[in-house]
Amino acid sequence: MTTRRQFLGAAALAIGAASTRVPAASGRIELAATDVHVRGYPTVEALRWIGEQLELETDGRLGVRLYHSGQLGRESDLIDLARFGAIDIARVNMAALNNPFPATRVLCLPFVFDDTAHMRRALDGAVGREILGHFADRDLVGLAFYDSGARCLYNTKRPIVTPADLHGLKIRVPPSDIFMHLLRALGANPTPLPYGEVYSALQTHLIDGAENNWQSFHTTRQFETARFWSYSRHSYSPEALLLSRRRFDALRADDRERLLDIAQRSVGYMRSLWDESERSARDYVLAHGVQANDVDRGAFERAVAPVVARYRDDAEVDRYWRGIRDLSGAA
Ligand code: GTR
């Protein structure tokens, strides 16, 4: 959990960043954009692309100043900083949005998506548009969804084939009640930690494992310690690209349209980077000795069914769930 002191530290850094982003004389506006990932990661490169397009299309009047690698703090803080207008753009994962924005929950539920193609169809369609609209409820503008691949389990101890294999393992989860409930239903001991602390937590044996996509596993070098990857594909929890409502309102009307349009166009660019980097991250870690195995998907689905049922008791979650499942297998 973030202490008040940690949050104020992040806010001070962000406000420092914000104060450099509008050099008055030139009239140029630099949008401060944040991401917890490193340079070269598809989400970071998509933000860079947005900056380049903005520069091109406004003759340099608008641009993006990128704070990658978690320089301005953890995702839950970045969401608040964007809401308060201390930063402009926050690229964060849906898991960090589940608690403040209940409409996002369905996107993290286990096994709601069959695969990446299914997730993309749902995000590009009516359900995606509606959920993106919900960010306006709390001072944000939902610009776009990005991919985050299939989250799978990995650990330092053994291959996980059925939920029974997770018994007694401490597995790191992102700050979302859904992930707590999910890992508990699978028999693990869920341990919430910020993304930036997972690598050292694995090394110091504070945790036995975590769950994420190939690219995060690779770029954080967690694969050096966690040598067992199990293809659970339990959640596709996508990424969100969010803009501070204050910044949006302060832009010229034509710049607002331009930014919305460029952000939407960045999705195709991000997806092509994503597909390529997913393959190369997987090949890299497998070539470096990580052992991968399939799981008993039926056993996993049965174990988490009560969690899904509990969330579907909520009428809105249930409506979205059915909307997404209707797109399963659609061409
Ligand atoms: C990654 C995601 C990050 C962060 C991380 C986590 O897949 O891209 O934004 O949320 O997971 O597990 O904390």
| Helix (H) / strand (E) containing 172 | strand 170-173
Which among 34, 44, 32 has a CA at the least distance from the CA of 274?
44
DSSP 168: T
Sign of CA dihedral 21, 148, 49, 250: negative
Res 19: pLDDT? 47
Six-digit token string for 223: 């694969």
d(CA 283, CA 141): 37
- Residue ranges, the chain, pLDDT below 70: 1-25, 331
For residue 64, how far is its CA from the centre of ligand 1 (angstroms)?
A: 22
Q: How far is CA 220 from the centre of its chain?
A: 15
Pocket test for ligand 1, best of 34, 35, 36, 98 (most atoms within 8 A of CB): 36
DSSP for 60-107, written as a single string: TSEEEEEE-TTTT--HHHHHHHHHHTSSSEEEEEGGGGTTT-GGGGGG
* Ligand 1 atom nearest to 211, measured from its CA: 12
Pocket test for ligand 1, best of 74, 176, 216, 241 (most atoms within 8 A of CB): 216
For residue 241, how far is its CA from the centre of ligand 1 (angstroms)?
A: 13
Pocket test for ligand 1, best of 2, 195, 277 (most atoms within 8 A of CB): 195
* Ligand 1 atom nearest to 194, measured from its CA: 13
Six-digit token string for 299: 């056993």
Q: How confident is the model over 153-194, as pLDDT tens digits?
A: 999 999 999 999 999 999 999 999 999 999 999 999 999 999
* Ligand 1 atom nearest to 210, measured from its CA: 12
The CB of 212 under 6 Å from ligand 1? The reply is: yes
* Ligand 1 atom nearest to 173, measured from its CA: 12
Q: Residue written as tokens 């692309």?
A: 49
19-39 exposure pattern, b = at least 16 Cβ within 10 A, e = fewer: eebeeeeeeebbbbbbbbbee
For residue 251, how far is its CA from the centre of ligand 1 (angstroms)?
A: 30
The CB of 35 under 6 Å from ligand 1? The reply is: no
The CB of 94 under 6 Å from ligand 1? The reply is: no
For residue 195, how far is its CA from the centre of ligand 1 (angstroms)?
A: 6
Q: What are phi and psi of 63, to 5 degrees?
A: -155, -175
For residue 209, how far is its CA from the centre of ligand 1 (angstroms)?
A: 15
DSSP for 194-263, written as a single string: -GGGHHHHHHTTS-SEEEE-HHHHHHTTGGGT--EEEEEEEE---EEEEEEHHHHHHS-HHHHHHHHHHH
Res 27: pLDDT? 86
Minimum CA distance residue for ligand 1 atom 11 = 212
Minimum CA distance residue for ligand 1 atom 3 = 93
DSSP for 255-322, written as a single string: HHHHHHHHHHHHHHHHHHHHHHHHHHHHHHHHHTT-EEEE--HHHHHHHHHHHHHHHHTSHHHHHHHH
Q: What are phi and psi of 234, to 5 degrees?
A: -80, -20
d(CA 5, CA 1): 11
Six-digit token string for 284: 């890299």
Minimum CA distance residue for ligand 1 atom 5 = 195
